[in-house]
Amino acid sequence: MNARFYAPDAHRPGDLVPLPGDEAEHLTRVLRLKAGDALRVFNGHGREFDATVEQADKDGVRVRLGDFAAAAPEPRVAITLAQAVLKGDKMDDVVRDATMMGAAAIQPILTTRAEVTRGSLVRGRRRERWERIAVSSAKQCGRATVPRILDAIEFDELIDALGKMLLPLPGLMLVEPRAASETTPASELDLSPQRAATVLIGPEGGWTPSEIERGASVCRLITVGSRTLRADVMCVVALSAFFTMWREF
Amino acid sequence: MNARFYAPDAHRPGDLVPLPGDEAEHLTRVLRLKAGDALRVFNGHGREFDATVEQADKDGVRVRLGDFAAAAPEPRVAITLAQAVLKGDKMDDVVRDATMMGAAAIQPILTTRAEVTRGSLVRGRRRERWERIAVSSAKQCGRATVPRILDAIEFDELIDALGKMLLPLPGLMLVEPRAASETTPASELDLSPQRAATVLIGPEGGWTPSEIERGASVCRLITVGSRTLRADVMCVVALSAFFTMWREF
């Protein structure tokens, strides 16, 4: 298969569209493609095209869109991963992995034990960084959809928002085996397919008891096995379990 | 909970047992425990004990075993992860994650596209390194069992061994969505619990067509979704999916 590039302006066959700076750089400097070379582009919203490089020079890269190409199917359940911001580079790994796993959106959340502030995320331009990581992961895993990266919010804001949804229990909150009394193993989840779900995953130090209590008002508390899993791998474990239950895997 | 240490010689309450060098180091230098302090030890074979430090000095650490403590339950299905050796440190991550996920044994395999030789693994003392990583991961995830790390073998040797087993199809071989014609999605696996299974996962470059053909003679070819997953995360995805199907999660 030809190399894949992210072209957010790609909408209709026949159009001439520019590649963003990072993508143009990758095309010219790393893969050394030239005018006339074939490639594939995806627009991050589920569309994928065959395409041809029409211009690749110091003014940038433009590609001519050919036919629609078959994109890897998206999961039928749109999962928003509400992930407590992890330390250091761990959150980068979560964004990369959640994109590969098929999350529809990633909602960073600030919890009591997540040692990070909203201000530090803004100053560090972390959302922009995570967006680049999501694009890069979509390129590698063959997805034509790039999950939306939302602005970080407080845990309580998330719970309030979930409480206003018209679903019986809109959230699936991952908890440690012995962290709460009323928990449901992932394999006992209702098999009826749902269209959307928010999956809540805590930070390295776990949820506080009061977060679990608040969460339980709008979420099912879900366990995956009896071991203590690392926070940065939990999104892969949880999405694998849910997609298996929902027959996406 | 008290800190957990690996004590392979721990078998019966009341015994006085030494900690291995690494563990003694961790106890005295990092956690600075002293004679009289309480701890927990696990023997790597499923037993866990309350214990007390009886001696901690330049001659090493000895602990007096108290009562049996409740160990995190092991999966009812004993999974052998047959993983193509990955490049650089990636295999370390797989050993760490497979231990946390509950694998019973890890069988490194040499495949056509795995760029590594048996000689280089022996010279690099990689098995010993992976054993240390498995112990360390078991400490962190609360497992009392440390998976056995087997000596690396060729892919063909593994297939021959699986072919001699008395099970209808003893192996579950993970393949890319479009790599083969007769594949089974993970969620369509037979739900009847089995006692043991070997899960085969390929290298970064994937299986060769002839490996898939050989594998298909003794394995079911399993897919997990429609995206291309990174080789170093595949063990977490596959074990999550299988344990969900087998109601371990």
Average pLDDT over residues B169-190: 89
CA distance B195 to B118: 30
Nearest to B241 among A73, A188, A249 (CB): A249
Domain B4-69 has CATH 2.40.50.140: no
- For the cut 70, the answer to whether the pLDDT of residue A193 exceeds it is no
- For the cut 90, the answer to whether the pLDDT of residue A165 exceeds it is no
What topology is assigned to A78-245 in CATH?
Answer: Alpha/beta knot (3.40.1280)
Predicted confidence band at A180 (pLDDT cuts at 50, 70, 90)?
A: confident
pLDDT at B113: 94
Domains B4-69 and B78-245 share a fold: no
Contact yes or no for B249 and A75 at CB 8 A: no
- Cβ burial of B64 (10 Å; 0-12, 13-18, 19+) is middle
User: For residues B63 and B34, is the Cβ–Cβ distance under 8 A?
Assistant: no
Nearest to A227 among B142, B188, B245 (CB): B142
> What distances in angstroms separate CA A223 from CA A128, A170, A176, B145, B203, one per listed residue?
32, 17, 6, 20, 30
Dump pLDDT digits (tens) for B186-234: 999 876 767 889 999 999 999 999 999 999 999 999 999 999 999 999 9
CA distance A245 to B76: 19
pLDDT at A97: 98
* Domain boundary assignment for chain A: 4-69, 78-245
Nearest to B141 among A143, A185, A227 (CB): A227
* Percent of chain A scoring above 70 in pLDDT: 99
Contact yes or no for A228 and B140 at CB 8 A: yes
Mean pLDDT of chain A, nearest integer: 94
- For the cut 70, the answer to whether the pLDDT of residue A202 exceeds it is yes
| Predicted complex ipTM exceeds 0.90 | yes
Q: Which residues of A touch B230 (CB under 8 A)?
A: 100, 140-141
pLDDT at B93: 97
Among all chains, which residue has been given the structure tokens 């999501």?
A134
Dump pLDDT digits (tens) for B50-78: 999 999 998 899 999 999 999 999 999 99
pLDDT at B193: 64
Predicted confidence band at A52 (pLDDT cuts at 50, 70, 90)?
A: very high
Dump pLDDT digits (tens) for B97-127: 999 999 999 999 999 998 889 999 999 999 9
- For the cut 90, the answer to whether the pLDDT of residue A20 exceeds it is yes
pLDDT at B165: 86
